[in-house]
A and B are shown apart, each in its own frame.
Chain A
Amino acid sequence: MPGKRSRKEEMMRAAQYPLDWLEERSGLIGGVKYFLFRKVPRDSGWWHTLGSATLTAFLVQLGTGVILAMYYKPNPNGAYESVQHITNDVTLGWLVRGMHKWGASVFIILIFFHMARVFLFGAYKYPRELNWIVGALLLPTALLEGFSGYLLPYDQTAYWATVVGININGTAPFLGPFLASFLRSGSEIGGDTLSRFYSLHMLLLPGAIIGLITLHLYLVVRLGVSSPPWSEEAAGRERDEAPAPRGAGLVSPAPRGAARRPADG
């Protein structure tokens, strides 16, 4: 029934029109496709999902953290009460706080799993050394997130753990005392310490992590995913695969074997 098919085609076009509109003006659809639908080695498997899992854990921290910040009060007289308020009074506050608290550990643990995978697979070797370095910067930034977030509940554990943590920084040779003074915002722990940690925890460090993750992913997309060490395909050898079908639509790929458009690429 040709009439019906053309109707369906028209529907498809109508659905694709806004996407094509966006693509024509921004290239975003193509960009997202380029980012998501990459070729990966045939024998990559579950081990390669640890990085995305870490990213997911970070996104959970971002989401829950933004919501917690709506209720949290970073001043020494109100911080503890506001955390109790979040846990006991706010609807589902216990859940969001729990996700943020336990998610923090999950984030760090996944970072180490991901790092172990990359190390044991030798995926840090040429040409991916720079990505290892970016990851090595992400690790301490994430640990600092943990350190600065630990003070925020402002109970006895939080307070004394931070006292000890700051003083450990203070014992570093030469500049340690100044670093400790910077973290304390002066020679004594006080109200400024809490707001300083809060600012670091929710503005500076997350911003740094987002920037570093962007760089990390850029390098992953640029360099591709490495084969596992047991891969039987020799690294760097040309593979005789069928060439990618060309002439795909902007949004949905053309069916296999579709005729190429003459002027395309």
Chain B
Amino acid sequence: MEPQPGQEKPHLPPPSLWPIGFAIGVVCILVGLIVSWPAAAVGVVLTVIFGFLWVRDVTTGYRRRDVGVEPGVGGPESATEGAPAIPADRGEAAMPPPERGETFSRNVFLEGATLGLGGVITGIVTVPILGFAIGPVFQHQHHEEIDLGPISNFKEGQYVVATFLSNASEGEISRRTAYIRNNGFLGTKPSFTAISNRCAHLGCPVQPNGPMFDVKKVEQHTKSGPVTLIPTLPAGGFGCPCHGGQYDQEGNRTAGPPVRALDRYEFYIRNGRLSLGKTYSVAHVDGAGANAKIQKYRLTGPGQHVDGVEQLLYPLQPPS
């Protein structure tokens, strides 16, 4: 009868020192490949010789028993009879029968210790990783004022498409566009309208509904990087190419899906130069130009209501 798989004793190869020589040969090859070809050749010779000796040693048991059969075919089935049985005083059989209380308390302790320690280690590893992943959500991003150059480039009453880098170190990815109009003076202070081109629906870039005067383009290099100013006449206000949102010249929604008016930039005038600060959200603008009354809110993502009942859906905003 053939032995059943479960009853077979493991066949252990006899102890052999040849693998050490084999390993030295492999190392010689690897070192020789870098250092010198003769050393590699010596390594090949060593590897072949010791490999042969090792294989011969390991297969002694098989070859002795199965003369005439193809090597390797005789397999473990025929080689098992020679292996010694595991004595009864070793392995599982040597274990004393468990005593109830003691065994279980130790088991429970070890189980708890393993789980608890594993939990602590998992926590120690996971918390910083998660923090690393979601950290940016809770961090304020650095905003630099954007220098758009001298205000003499902004003709009174004319909209200008200003493109600039919001963060020159990040490069082209930070390119932004604002629609800026010089409203003249309000009393003694100069007044500007600086509208962000980010649509209040889902953030596509709104376009002026009217001609752009490319021949009057002004390209300049300020401390904020390259700034381009192109005069435009948005007679029909602004429109979004993505889903058709429409706005008037003050950025108020006139049609389409947007939920509020276009965002605006804070602006400053320093030494006769116009610079843009942070953006803020606008629910609605009453009036026009220098006399406009802007219902200003903190910057909110596109598509989110800043006023009315719907603002209750967005009670918290991540820092911007």
Contact = CB atoms under 8 A, between A and B. Distances in A.
Contacts of B304: 170-171, 176-177
A10 B172 contact: no
A162 B313 CA distance: 23
Interface stretch (B37-45, B49-57, B70-78, B95-103): B70-78
Given A76-B172, A186-B136, A192-B136, A167 B303 contact: yes
A58 B94 CA distance: 52
A164 B171 contact: no
Interface string B129-140: 000001011010
Interface string B14-33: 00000000000000000000
Q: Sorted from nearest, which 3 A-B pairs have the closest CB atoms?
A: A171-B303, A170-B301, A173-B313
A167 B72 CA distance: 66
Contacts of B314: 173-174, 176-177
Interface residues on B, range: 35 or more
B317 interface: yes
A163 B203 contact: yes
A232 to B, nearest CB: 41
B315 interface: yes
Interface residues of A, number: 34
Contacts, number: 96
A76 B82 CA distance: 68
Given A13-B73, A188-B141, A181 B203 contact: no
A182 B72 CA distance: 59
A163 B70 contact: no
B75 A20 contact: yes
Given A17-B75, A168-B202, A170-B304, 20 more contacts: A10-B70, A20-B75, A160-B242, A164-B203, A170-B301, A174-B313, A176-B301, A176-B314, A177-B301, A177-B314, A177-B317, A177-B318, A178-B316, A178-B318, A182-B137, A187-B141, A188-B166, A188-B174, A189-B173, A263-B4
Contact of B134 (A171, A174, A182): A182
A160 B204 contact: yes
B320 interface: yes
B93 interface: no
A77 interface: yes
A14 B72 contact: yes
A221 B174 CA distance: 51
A84 interface: no
Contacts of B301: 167, 170-171, 176-177, 180
29 contacts: A13-B73, A14-B70, A14-B72, A17-B73, A24-B76, A76-B171, A77-B171, A160-B204, A160-B242, A163-B204, A164-B202, A167-B203, A170-B304, A171-B303, A174-B316, A176-B301, A176-B304, A177-B300, A177-B314, A178-B316, A178-B318, A181-B137, A181-B318, A182-B134, A186-B139, A187-B299, A190-B167, A190-B173, A263-B4
A87 interface: no
A186 B141 contact: yes
B313 A170 contact: no
Nearest to A192: B136
Interface string B291-320: 000000001111110000000011111111
A141 interface: no
Contacts of A13: 73
A167 B304 CA distance: 9
B162 to A, nearest CB: 18
B215 interface: no
B69 interface: yes
A207 interface: no
Interface string A10-51: 100110010011001000000000000000000000000000
B167 to A, nearest CB: 8
